[in-house]
Amino acid sequence: MKKSCLLILFLSCVIGINAQWFSLGFKGGYSTILEQGQSYEDIFDVSGNLQNGFHLGLYMRMGRTWYVQPEVLFNYYNCSGTVNYENNNIFENKKYQINTLDVPVLLGVHLVNTNMFKMRLMAGPKFSFNIGSTLAETFSDIETLTQELRNTRLGLDCGLGFDIWRITLDVRYNLIQDIYKYKNDKGTTLNNKPLHSIQASIGYRIAGNNKKKIRYGR
């Protein structure tokens, strides 16, 4: 997965060299997890409540009507999860943190494209890397349930964005598969449910020119 991520970033840079439009900026904002969890044969039901967090990072945009936008974002979530042992009518709640370095590589199109205002649609893969999350090791005394966060994960981003002068506003839906691994004391891996989240961010373009073609040499 790391090789694929580096390959996509390399191709994005190659496209950027010949792009007519280029911009670089920073962004940050609010993140919330809508749904997450695991289940196994109607015995365990591990669910996450609505989680809140934030993200902060850099973005690069290359292209005119169609564009490529790679980003590097730090994501933090303060989470809690509930385990329901249905056969024993036992409920447990655990709190933990999710810290990830996310690298989305988006392909977008400008629906409106003027010097002062732009409206964009975007979608693309997101590579997510664990960078020090804290998780509860076990959930129950009746049957040990071990929780692990996968080190690398692949997801999907899609959303809508607006540019007003140098200010950028984005709202995105995120889908990530296989974020956790759960195992019981028999070594059985539980079925995985995807993680759904929403991100709302505001950014500022600090470099680049969205009006003139970039020329290299004479």
Residue in 124, 176, 185, 186 with CA at minimum distance from that of residue 150: 176
Only one residue has tokens 């042992």, namely: 85
The β-bridge partners of 35 are 196
Q: Is the pLDDT of residue 6 over 60?
A: no
Q: What mean pLDDT is reported for the chain? A: 75
- In order, the DSSP letters of the chain are -HHHHHHHHHHHHHHHHT-S-EEEEEEEEEEEEEEEEEEETTTEEEEE--EEEEEEEEEEEEESSEEEEEEEEEEEEEEEEEEEETTTTEEEEEEEEEEEEEEEEEEEEEEEE-SSEEEEEEEEEEEEEESS-B--S---SSS-EEEEE-SEEEEEEEEEEEEETTEEEEEEEEEES--EEEEETT-PBPEEEEEEEEEEEEEEEEEEESSS------
| 2-208 placed in CATH 2.40.160.20 | yes
- Per-residue pLDDT band for 73 (boundaries 50, 70, 90) equals very high
The pLDDT of residue 164 is: 95
The pLDDT of residue 102 is: 93
Summarised one tens digit per residue, pLDDT across range 74-99 is 998 877 666 655 555 555 666 777 78
Residue in 165, 27, 139 with CA at minimum distance from that of residue 83: 139
Where are the domains positioned within the chain?
2-208
Section 172-185 average pLDDT: 73
Summarised one tens digit per residue, pLDDT across range 14-68 is 444 444 578 999 999 999 877 655 554 455 555 555 578 899 999 999 998 999 9
Using CA of residue 182, residue 188, residue 189, residue 193, what is the dihedral sign?
Answer: negative
Summarised one tens digit per residue, pLDDT across range 102-147 is 999 999 999 999 989 999 999 999 998 888 766 545 555 445 556 5
